[in-house]
Chains A and B, each alone.
Chain A
Amino acid sequence: MSRRAAPKAAPKANSTAAEGGGAPREGSAPSVSLLGTTALLFEAPGELALASQQRIWSLARETQAWPEVREAVPGMNNLMLTFERPPRSAEALYALEARLQAAWDAALPLPLEGRVVELPVVYGGEGGPHMADVVAHTGLSVDEIVELHSTPVYPVYALGSHPGYCYLGGMDPRIATPRRKVPVLSIPGGAVSIGGAQTGVSASAGPSGWNTIGSTTMSFFDPAQDPPAKLQPGDMIRFRVQGVIR
């Protein structure tokens, strides 16, 4: 395990070559880092992949039961553990990190297979104001983009960003488009957008740096329900073409 940004008190033995490096995502070892005294961040090595995410789900399930963990929160091939109470010393912290490493080594993929939810999408037009930017960046036609975007079944890797929002895997890299230089102040709930190599659907109105290519109607979150989020990691989204406005 590489320890990055070790606290000052860290024994040198815990430091690795990664400490001096500028490209922390490389290498084959996972990394553990601190988010203040509030949480630990565990990051799996390698390319973003569903198989890694299945091990993250497995690790989340196990660590959630640890007494020092308040919440195990999966991200994209990573896992944040918030503390019920922070370990009392650097030694106790390292012991927890070692236990986390061992749990990862032992974690078998947890093949969550939830529901497939179909979302009707109107691509382009008023509900997809940045379609032209995706066309310009990819060199593809609107029809090709719609075809490539609506073909996969996208697994929900994790929830985050805002209430009910799903991080999805599986987008075709041919329609990847960089985030916008200037974020849009507010995009509506149901906006279907592309940010870098990822796609997603906003669950409520708010600012976004992603390119909105269409819109759907789906309520992703209801705080009165248990659980409040409609989709869970392992569920899947399929976008059905309801219309294309050119």
Chain B
Amino acid sequence: MIEVLSSAALATVQDQGRKGSLRWGVGTAGAMDNLALAAGNLLLGNDANAAAVEVPVFPFKLRFDADCAFALTGADCAARLDEAPLLPWWVHQAHAGQTLTLGLPQGGAQRGSRAMLCLAGGVDVPEVLGSRSTQLRGAFGGHEGRALRRGDVLRAVGEGQSCRTGFGLVPPGLSLPLQVDGVPAVRVLPAAEYPGFEEASRAAFWAGEWKITAQSDRYGYRLDGEALRPIAPMEMRSHGIVPGVIQVPHSGQPIIQMRDAQPSGGYPKFGTVIEADLWRLGQAPIGSRIRFIECSWDEAVAAQDEVEAWLDRVRRMVDLHRSSPRPGGR
């Protein structure tokens, strides 16, 4: 068992998301940094879709009440197990009674914003509509359909079981960097209403830096930059949308839909951050700036291939570690 010791709100149980319930009005939810979750699960030998704890507010503290292997991925947050400092993107062994503390994300301008705490076997919560992700609106999935709070007790499927620990990865932020003029960037495919914006606005969108405002969370990132002006007002009928869609409300300041986005909307759509880059956005801290890169369909598909190739390399590396003889021959 693992007991949450901090009152830090907004930590949630997430897997790769709830796919296939859009027709009932149910969005996908799921990890904001899906690559950190996938890598953490690979490091532990978990199912690819095992659930982990996503931590966006620090410090965050919990106590292991049973021996349990875990992997920390996502933001490097100066973690400690009791007093011992822990490497990020690494598999560790906790013993019953030990306390894990996640501090503030570090790394200067390169820092992330969300840590993924992956547990051996995954967080043991019931699957609801095919997923263990927390669906806040409607209050189901995850841990009791809500964010974690002090005193909550979670169980890891693989607690008490032996698991190879003591190895790690180079994080994807270093292996797959993407920047424009030194500013973190994401690639965007133009969406339906893109041609309906003034040419100057379209140019400004690609050329400018966009600040992620404090009104940004798992539902969406509200950006601040040069306002995007439509040639004429556009009225949309309600239609399906997905995480990554960049909507432009009347203010002209865009909103990027994130993993907790509702599955339909009616604002004009400027573009969509491609799925292959959503993990980058999931790690972008509030107050930081991002750039957008226009991409073609073929470039977007190639970007997804690159992510999958990275995960394949991780899988092969982990297989090597897990199959090598154990030092000390336990």
Give residues in A with beta carbon < 8 Å to B. Answer: 4-10, 18-25, 31, 33-39, 41, 43, 48, 70-80, 82, 86-90, 93, 158-165, 167, 198, 203-204, 206, 221, 223, 227-229
Residues of the B chain whose Cβ atoms lie less than 8 Å from the Cβ of A76: 237-239
Cα A72 to Cα B21 in complex, Å, equals 10
Residue on B nearest A72 in the bound complex, by CB: B23
B263 adjacent to chain A (CB < 8 Å): yes
In contact, B190 and A7 (Cβ under 8 angstroms): yes
**Which 5 residue pairs are nearest across A and B when measured between Cβ atoms?**
A80-B240, A160-B264, A22-B231, A36-B272, A33-B192
Interface-centre pick from B24, B231, B269, B296 (highest chain A CB count, 10 A): B24
Residue on A nearest B230 in the bound complex, by CB: A22
Residues of the B chain whose Cβ atoms lie less than 8 Å from the Cβ of A165: 25
B41 adjacent to chain A (CB < 8 Å): no
Do A221 and B24 contact each other (CB < 8 Å), given the known contacts A34-B297, A162-B262?
Answer: yes
Do A20 and B135 contact each other (CB < 8 Å), given the known contacts A93-B297, A160-B240?
Answer: no
Query: What are 24 sample pairs from A and B whose C-beta atoms fall under 8 A apart?
Result: A4-B193, A5-B190, A5-B193, A8-B295, A8-B299, A22-B232, A31-B192, A36-B242, A36-B245, A36-B272, A37-B189, A37-B304, A38-B242, A70-B19, A73-B23, A77-B237, A79-B240, A90-B296, A158-B264, A161-B263, A203-B25, A204-B139, A228-B24, A229-B25
Residues of the B chain whose Cβ atoms lie less than 8 Å from the Cβ of A80: 22, 239-242
B67 adjacent to chain A (CB < 8 Å): no
For the complex formed, measure the closest distance between the CB of B317 and the CB atoms of chain A, giving whole angstroms: 25
10 new A-B contacts, CB < 8 A, other than A9-B297, A70-B20, are A22-B234, A36-B300, A75-B237, A78-B237, A78-B240, A80-B239, A86-B300, A93-B297, A160-B264, A162-B27
Residues of the B chain whose Cβ atoms lie less than 8 Å from the Cβ of A221: 24-25, 138
B316 adjacent to chain A (CB < 8 Å): no
Cα A39 to Cα B26 in complex, Å, equals 16
Cα A96 to Cα B195 in complex, Å, equals 22
In contact, B238 and A160 (Cβ under 8 angstroms): yes
In contact, B275 and A38 (Cβ under 8 angstroms): yes
For the complex formed, measure the closest distance between the CB of B219 and the CB atoms of chain A, giving whole angstroms: 9
For the complex formed, measure the closest distance between the CB of A119 and the CB atoms of chain B, giving whole angstroms: 17
For the complex formed, measure the closest distance between the CB of A35 and the CB atoms of chain B, giving whole angstroms: 5
In contact, B195 and A21 (Cβ under 8 angstroms): yes
In contact, A20 and B26 (Cβ under 8 angstroms): no
Interface residues of B in 1-24 (CB under 8 A from A): 19-24
In contact, A36 and B237 (Cβ under 8 angstroms): no
Cα A31 to Cα B22 in complex, Å, equals 21
Cα A106 to Cα B87 in complex, Å, equals 59
In contact, B300 and A8 (Cβ under 8 angstroms): no
